[in-house]
Chains A and B, each alone.
Chain A
Amino acid sequence: MSEVLESLFVLGTSHHATPLEVRERFALTQSQALNLQKLLHQHEGIRECLVLNTCNRLEIYGIADCIERVEEIRGLFCDKQKVSEELFSQYAYCHSNLAMLQHVLEVSAGLDSQMVGETEILGQLKQTYAAAHDADCTGKVLNRLFEKSFQAAKEARTQTGITRGQVSIGNVVVDLASRIFGKLNGSRVLLLGSGEVSEKTAQALKSRGVGDITVSSRTFENAHKLAHSLGGAAIHFEDFTAQLEHFDIIISSTAAPNTLLHKEVIALTMKQRPERPCFLIDLAMPRDVDPAVEEVENVYLYNLDDLSSIANENLEARKAEIENAREILRKHAWNLWLQLRRRELMLKA
């Protein structure tokens, strides 16, 4: 029976084995990826195909009349991308049939991602699939395959702990803020400094309902610019100490060589707001907030090390769940493989 079957395949490179500088050479723009997909679909012997192009991976999924077609695809890609076949072969991997099914299921579930269990990849995969479907590049086999992979990903996520706990600094802060304030819509945030990490953290808080963000930086223009992008307001750096009592969450990431917030200042602030807790996030190096601030009642101080260690602990916990999730996906892959064969969807025309 195997002689008359077509071959499912995936050819690609990912963050696992390919360094960033090499991935940059393979990277495609969105339109390049769509063109490549169209080109491959028109290629002789390739019935269906899909090109997944993210910052961490470039993968070509398809069904071909024989597995040898993968070599032609490799050549075609390298020609278009103007990279040597040796270089591509050095980093690329290729899986076929059941192994390919297992791979796509693991990608959907986020098991193959840099941050195990992240959900962004599922969104990207759904988007890519929708585009490939609209362009008629996918058919009965890949449609079934991707739709099943989305279901399997959901099951693996709900039945195991691969998505449990946050693994990015921004989301860890959001989790901690939720443990202090519950719903964040009423919380007021002050950003001290306009660093990238604090901006991302503020964005994560904003995505969870925080509507009131104020930025203060030594350079008022920078503060104004960041405040504008976050839909907030800017205040002069000289004024922020006097206004501390109005803020529930204070994120500090200035380049100041000395401590900005001392215990006495925070203690005085808390006297003016004894019922409302204050969440201080010190993302600066050297630190902006005096560690003794932690002793003040109703104040919760977290620095970069604290947040990183929480993120790493969560990541380790997720990793411990990989095998359980993989087992669930293995069953799905096997069932899908049997379905595709039983329904003669992979028979050669």
Chain B
Amino acid sequence: MFNEITITDGSAFKVAAAVYGGAFLFALVVLLMRRAYSRTIMFALLCGGFLIQTLALNLRGAEIKACPLGNPFEIAQFLAWSLVLLFFIIGPTFRLRLLGGFTAGLATILSAGSFIIPSWDRAYPPGIFGGNHWIELHAALAIFSYGFFAILSLVSIMFLIQQHGLKTKQFKGIYRYLPSLQQLDLMAKRLLLTGVIVLTASLAFGAVFWVSNFELVPVFKLTTTCLIWLGYLTVFILRIQKKLVTRRHAIATIALFILAMTSLWPVQSARETETITEGLPTQVER
């Protein structure tokens, strides 16, 4: 009987999105009841979603024989996966209350949202990285750094909510369970630093390929990626110089993440246009 059950990457992605959604709903319902949710349940739910998503990414990776980062759907899934992975590292270490709930929320938006536009998961030619492992590493690191920036934007949202609560003298509900401003601010600083390092490393690996294959890299993609990197670097430098702190720092990191997310679509389109014009071989069936 069990032999008849076949797990496809698509169904595993759907189940993972549902589990993340369940985790987010659980946090929401408990918070609406003005209670603190159980960290163990939240951790278990996110763990379940993460394992299923890992399986899905593995299946997809085995199919395309590369890291699945070939279309917006896969990028969104990989980003959600990176986000949850980072939560597993940051959550238990720094014990930031409610971060699990916020992570579940964003993971749901990314993983379930990527199903909304079916064309996002379009087939693409095999060997998107042309067998070049440096390019594969560059792409994986870039999306992983976006995972850092995703969790950074969540921490910044939590900071703004807590600050709003304190400024407007709100004492009940979510404000009671959020971490302190100092904790959130310190965490934002660390995440920004790590994200910038990972993105810089990703660009450095990408540059190795770009220098020798200048004509193969779309100018739009290169410009946008460099602008995003420059944006985060500027925010980091201003932060170190104490010129962009607390509220403005939180707003800047959220705005940059939104910008980074919205730039993914045109960057991806630019790459695909380039690929089509080059007339690369047969597409992977999906």
Any chain A CB within 8 A of the CB of B242?
A: yes
CB <8 Å contact, A298 and B169: no
**Contact of A163 with B by CB under 8 A:** no
- Is B169 touching A277 in the complex (CB atoms < 8 A)? no
Q: Which of the 9-residue segments B175-183, B200-208, B213-221, B225-233 touches chain A?
A: B175-183
Q: Are A182 and B182 in contact, CB atoms less than 8 angstroms apart?
A: yes
In the assembled complex, B286 has its CB within 8 A of some CB on chain A: no
In the complex, the chain B residue whose C-beta lies closest to that of A175 is B171
Residues of chain A within 8 A (CB-CB) of B261 are none
Q: Which residues of B contact A310 (CB under 8 A)?
A: 169, 171
Interface residues on B, range: 20 to 34
Are the CB atoms of A182 and B242 closer together than 8 Å? Answer: no
Residues of A contacting B185 in the complex (Cβ-Cβ under 8 angstroms):
275
> Given the known A-B contacts A274-B242, A274-B245, are A181 and B169 also in contact in the complex, defined by CB atoms under 8 Å?
no
Q: Are B167 and A178 in contact (CB under 8 A)?
A: no
Please report which residues of chain B, range 159-186, place their CB below 8 angstroms from some CB of chain A when the two chains form the complex: 162, 165-167, 169, 171-172, 175, 178-183, 185
Of chain A, the residue at the smallest CB distance from B35 is A161
- Give CA–CA (A274, B248) in the complex, Å: 11
Task: Say whether B171 contacts A165, CB under 8 Å.
Answer: yes
The distance from the CB of A271 to the nearest CB of chain B, in whole angstroms, is 10
Alpha-carbon distance between A73 and B162 when the two chains are bound, in angstroms = 56
The answer to whether A180 and B247 touch across the interface, beta carbons within 8 angstroms, is no
Q: Are B246 and A297 in contact (CB under 8 A)?
A: yes
A289-B52 Cα distance, complex, nearest whole Å: 56
Residue of chain A at shortest CB distance from B186:
A182
Q: Which B residues touch A91, using CB under 8 A?
A: none
Determine if A344 is an interface residue (Cβ-Cβ < 8 Å).
no
Pair B180/A275 contact, Cβ less than 8 Å: no
B172/A313 in contact, CB under 8 A? yes
Q: A120 near B: Cβ within 8 Å?
A: no
How far is the CB of B175 from the nearest CB of chain A, in Å? Answer: 7
A270-295 to B contact mask, C-beta < 8 Å, 1/0? 00001101000000000000000010
Confirm or deny: A82 has a beta carbon within 8 angstroms of a beta carbon on chain B.
no
CB proximity of B170 to chain A, nearest CB, Å: 10
Residue of B nearest to A309 (CB): B169
Looking at the complex, which one of B166, B182, B242, B246 makes contact with A176 (CB distance below 8 Å)?
B166
Residues of A within 8 A of B167 (CB): 294, 300
- B165 — which chain A residues lie within 8 A by C-beta? 179
A306 to B247 alpha-carbon distance, docked (Å): 23
Number of A-B residue pairs, CB cutoff 8 Å, is: 51
Q: Judge whether A240 is part of the interface by a CB distance below 8 angstroms.
A: no
Question: A179-B180, A275-B185 are contacts. A306–B162 as well, Cβ < 8 Å?
Answer: no
CB-defined contacts of A302 to chain B, threshold 8 Å? 169
Q: Cβ of A53 < 8 Å from any Cβ of B?
A: no
A300 CB contacts on chain B under 8 angstroms:
166-167
Contact A178 B245 (CB under 8 A): no
**B 77-116 to A, binary, CB cutoff 8 A, 1 in contact else 0:** 0000000000000000000000000000000000000000
Contact yes or no, A180 B182, CB < 8 A: yes
Tell me the chain A residues, 181-219 only, with Cβ under 8 Å from chain B. Answer: 181-182
- Asked if A180 and B166 sit within 8 Å, CB to CB, the answer is yes
Q: What does DSSP make chain A's interface, helix, strand, loop or mixed?
A: helix
User: Is the beta-carbon distance between B181 and A180 smaller than 8 angstroms?
Assistant: yes
A314 within 8 Å of B by Cβ?
yes
Taking CB as reference atom, which chain A residue is nearest B166? Answer: A300
A278 to B153 alpha-carbon distance, docked (Å): 24
**CA separation between A311 and B123, bound complex, in Å?**
60
B171 touches which of A180, A181, A182, A314 (Cβ 8 Å): A314
Q: Which residues from A are CB-within-8-Å of B171?
A: 165, 175, 310, 313-314
- Residues A181 and B182 in contact, CB atoms below 8 Å apart: yes
- Cα A310 to Cα B172 with chains together (Å): 9
Q: List A contacts of B162 (CB < 8 A).
A: 179
Tell me how far the C-beta of B236 lies from the nearest C-beta in chain A, rounded to whole angstroms: 14
Beyond A275-B185, A306-B169, A313-B171, is A181–B245 a contact (Cβ under 8 Å)? Answer: no
**B246 and A298 contacting across the interface, CB-CB below 8 Å:** yes
Which residues of the partner chain A approach B248 to less than 8 Å between Cβ atoms? 297
List A residues 131-177 near B (Cβ within 8 Å): 165, 175-176
A274-B242, A275-B185 given; A179·B172 CB < 8 A: no
Query: Do the beta carbons of B182 and A277 come within 8 Å of each other?
Result: yes
Which chain B positions have C-beta within 8 A of A175? 171
Task: Give complex CA distance A175, B181 in Å.
Answer: 13
Cβ distance B31 to chain A, nearest Cβ, rounded Å: 14
Instruction: With both chains docked as a complex, state the minimum distance between the C-beta of B250 and any C-beta of chain A, in angstroms.
Output: 12
Given A275-B242, A294-B167, A310-B169: A182 and B179 interface contact (C-beta under 8 Å): yes
What 1/0 mask marks residues of chain A from 285 to 329 whose CB sits below 8 Å from any chain B CB?
000000000100110101000100110011001000000000000
The 10 closest A-B pairs by CB, nearest first: A182-B180, A182-B183, A274-B242, A274-B245, A310-B171, A300-B166, A181-B182, A182-B182, A275-B245, A298-B246
Known: A277-B182, A297-B246, A310-B169. 14 other contacts (CB 8 A): A165-B171, A165-B172, A175-B171, A179-B162, A180-B166, A180-B180, A181-B182, A275-B185, A275-B246, A300-B167, A302-B169, A310-B171, A313-B171, A313-B172
B contact set with A: CB distance below 8 Å = 162, 165-167, 169, 171-172, 175, 178-183, 185, 242, 245-248
11 contacts between A and B (CB under 8 A): A165-B171, A180-B180, A180-B181, A182-B183, A275-B245, A275-B246, A297-B246, A297-B247, A298-B245, A300-B166, A300-B167
Q: Which A residues fall within an 8 A CB radius of B?
A: 165, 175-176, 178-182, 274-275, 277, 294, 297-298, 300, 302, 306, 309-310, 313-314, 317
